[in-house]
Amino acid sequence: MSDTISFLAPRADVLARRRQIVEDLADLLPPECLVHEARELMPFETDAFVSYRRLPLAVALPRTTAEVAAVLKYCHRYGVPVVPRGAGTSLSGGAIPQEDAVVVCVSKMNRIIEIDLFNRLAMVEAGVTNLHISESVSADGFFYAPDPSSQLACTIGGNIGMNSGGAHCLKYGVTTNNLLGVRMVLMDGTIIDLGGKALDAGGYDLLGLVCGHEGQLGIVTEATVRLIAKPEGARPVLFGFDTSEEAGSCVADVIASGIIPVAIEFMDKPAIEICEAFAKAGYPLDVGALLIVEVEGSEAEMDDMLGDIVAIARRHGVKTVRECQSATEAALIWKGRKSAFGATGRIADYICMDGTVPLSQLSYVLKKTGEIIDGYGLRVANVFHAGDGNMHPLILFNANDPEDAARAEAAGMDILKLCVDVGGCLTGEHGVGIEKRDLMRHQYAEADLAQQMAARAAFDPGWLLNPSKVFPLEGRAGA
Ligand SMILES: Cc1cc2nc3c(=O)[nH]c(=O)nc-3n(C[C@H](O)[C@H](O)[C@H](O)COP(=O)(O)OP(=O)(O)OC[C@H]3O[C@@H](n4cnc5c(N)ncnc54)[C@H](O)[C@@H]3O)c2cc1C
C-alpha cells in the first residue's frame, strides 16, 4: 500500500482504498472488533445531536490500549482521519463521524481496573459508564461526583472529552476537578500517561488540557478519578416562584451570600409540566419557575443552610417551599429533573443549547431568551444547572418542517451569542463539537483561536483526530 491515501481521487480509486483500509484494519483487530458493513455502521452514523448523519468508513472496537495504539499508528501512517467515540451521547455533534474516517469506539474497554479506597480513587478503562463507577463503590460509602443526566450510558472517556458536568457539580466541580490521571494514545500510536494517583503533577497541566479536548488530542484509554465519601444526609427542597426572573435572582443571591448547596437546578413552567407529566415527581404546577436546591451534611447542618436559603428565597417572593420527606420522594424529584431531555423528546423535536453566564446575568438572559424565542415564533423549555449559570434552553420545533428547523437553529445561535455578550461562554458542559464551531469567532479573537489551534496541532500535527470539530473550518492554522 502507498504511503498516502487521497480521498480526492476518482470514485473507483477511493472505493478501492477504502476496501484496502478495512482489510488492513482486519489484520490488526479480531472480526468482532471491526465493523464495516453499511447496515452495521448505522448505529454509529450520528450521536445525540441527531441533525447530521454520516456513515463512517469503518468502526474499530479495540479491547486494549495496545489495540488502540495499533489502529492509530496505522491511520497516522496512511493519513486516515479518526473520530474517537464513547457512547455517542454528545449533544453538540462531537462524536458524529465523517465518511472518510475510522471511528474508534472504546465501549469494549469497560473494566474497572482498581478501586483504591484508602487513597479515594478509582482506575477505570475509558469505556466504563459514569454511573458504573459510583455503583461500584456505593456499598463502601463512596461515589464519583460528576453526574451528567446521561450517566447511565455515557462513558468516562466521553466525559473527559467534553469535561462533563451534572446537577451535583455545583459543590464538587465538573470532570476536570475530579480527574487525577489518564493514559492516552496519541495519533501516531505513542502511549502517554498524564497525572496519576497523586493530587498534583509537575510540569505543565496537560491533564487540564486533555479535559474537554473533544477527542482531538488523543484517545483516552484509562482514567484515574477521585472518589468522594457519601455525606451523612442529603435533602432536596423545592422552591416555587411566580416568575423565572425571581427564581434567577434568588439563585444569584444564594451564591453571592457564600452558601454552596450541592445542587441548584432550575425549571421554567413548560419544563415543570413536561417533567411532571413524565415522572410524576410531585412538582408544584401552580408556579412559573421551580428551583431544586439540595443541601447535605448532618441534620443540623442541613437545617442551618436551609434556613439561610429560605430567608433569601423569601426576599425574592418565593411562593412554595417544599422539603422532601423521604428517600423515595428525593429519588422522584431527581428522576423528574434527570429525565428532562427524554421527557421533552416525547412531545416535540428539540435542540438543547448549552451556554454559561455569570450568575448576575441569569435573570436578564432568561428574559432575553424568552424574547428571542418569541421573535422566531417558537417555544422553549428551560431546565438547567442554575447554580453554575449553565443554561440549557430546549428549543422546541418540528424536524419535518425545514423552515421551522432553520428558525430553531437561528434562535439557538442568537441565544449563545447573548451568553457570550453578557460575559459568559458558548458551552458549559456539552462541548463545541460541530454545533458551535462557527460561533468560536464570536467568543475568541483570532490570536486566541490561533493559540488554541497551535496547542491542538502540537498533539496531532496532521489534524487527523476528530478534524471537523471545535474550530471554524476557515483559517485553521496548520490544518
Ligand atoms: C439525555 C442526555 C442528557 C445529558 N445530560 C448531560 C449533563 O447533564 N451534563 C453533561 O455534561 N452532558 C450531558 N449530556 C451530553 C453527553 O452525555 C456528555 O457530553 C457525555 O460526556 C458524552 O459521553 P459519551 O461517552 O457519550 O461520549 P461521545 O458522545 O461518544 O463523545 C463525546 C466527545 O468525546 C470524544 N471522546 C469520546 N470518548 C473518547 C475517548 N476515549 N478519548 C478521547 N476522546 C473521546 C468524542 O470524540 C467526542 O468529541 C447529555 C446527553 C443526553 C443525550
pLDDT in tens, 413-462: 999 999 999 999 999 899 999 999 999 999 999 999 999 999 999 999 99
**Residue 137 sits in the same domain as residue 225:** yes
CATH number at residue 267: 3.30.70.2190
Asked whether 159 lines ligand 1 (CB < 6 A), one says yes
Q: Can you point out the beta strands (E) in 49-190?
A: 58-60, 82-85, 102-105, 112-116, 121-125, 142-143, 179-185
**Residue 45 sits in the same domain as residue 142:** no
Q: Which of 85, 105, 125 is the last residue of a domain?
A: 105
Most informative mutation of 107, 154, 339 for ligand 1 (most atoms within 8 A of CB)? 154
pLDDT score recorded for residue 49? 84
Summarize the confidence of residues 471-475 as an average pLDDT.
87
Best CA proximity match to 221, nearest among 150, 115, 128: 128
Query: Residue 291 falls within a domain, yes or no?
Result: yes
**Residue 151 sits in the same domain as residue 218:** yes
Asked whether 17 lines ligand 1 (CB < 6 A), one says no
Query: Residue 3 falls within a domain, yes or no?
Result: no
Alpha-carbon span 241 to 247, nearest angstrom: 6
- Angstrom CA distances, 479 to 450, 460, 463, 467, stand at 11, 10, 6, 9
Q: Kindly report, residue by residue over 212-247, the tens digit of the pLDDT.
A: 999 999 999 999 999 999 999 999 999 999 999 999
**Residue 53 sits in the same domain as residue 66:** yes
186: CB partners within 8 A, 6+ apart: 72, 192, 217, 218, 459, 460
**Residue 267 sits in the same domain as residue 370:** no
Q: Which of 340, 356, 380 is the last residue of a domain?
A: 340
Burial of 159 (0-12, 13-18, 19+ CB in 10 A): buried
Query: Residue 430 falls within a domain, yes or no?
Result: no
Asked whether 222 lines ligand 1 (CB < 6 A), one says no
Overall number of domains in the chain: 5
Most informative mutation of 46, 64, 85 for ligand 1 (most atoms within 8 A of CB)? 85
Q: Which of 194, 229, 264 is the last residue of a domain?
A: 229
Q: Which domain holds residue 469?
A: 444-479
Query: Residue 82 falls within a domain, yes or no?
Result: yes
CA 92 / ligand 1 centre spacing (Å): 9
Asked whether 89 lines ligand 1 (CB < 6 A), one says yes
Alpha-carbon span 443 to 17, nearest angstrom: 40
Query: Residue 428 falls within a domain, yes or no?
Result: no
**Residue 91 sits in the same domain as residue 146:** no
**Residue 144 sits in the same domain as residue 175:** yes
**C-alpha grid cell, residue 323:** 422539603
93: left (phi over 0), alpha (psi -120 to 50) or beta: left
Query: Residue 439 falls within a domain, yes or no?
Result: no
**Residue 187 sits in the same domain as residue 268:** no
**Residue 180 sits in the same domain as residue 198:** yes
Amino acid letter for position 203 = G
Q: Kindly report, residue by residue over 28-78, the tens digit of the pLDDT.
A: 999 999 999 999 999 999 999 877 889 999 999 999 999 999 999 999 999
Query: Residue 437 falls within a domain, yes or no?
Result: no
Largest CA distance in the chain: 73
Query: Residue 71 falls within a domain, yes or no?
Result: yes
Asked whether 97 lines ligand 1 (CB < 6 A), one says no
**Residue 130 sits in the same domain as residue 69:** no
Alpha-carbon span 113 to 110, nearest angstrom: 9
CATH number at residue 391: 3.30.70.2740
**Residue 133 sits in the same domain as residue 191:** yes
CATH number at residue 181: 3.30.465.10
Most informative mutation of 164, 338, 353 for ligand 1 (most atoms within 8 A of CB)? 164
Alpha-carbon span 76 to 462, nearest angstrom: 8
Ranking 11-20, 155-164, 363-372 by mean pLDDT, the lowest is 11-20
**C-alpha grid cell, residue 298:** 448532618
**Residue 323 sits in the same domain as residue 355:** no
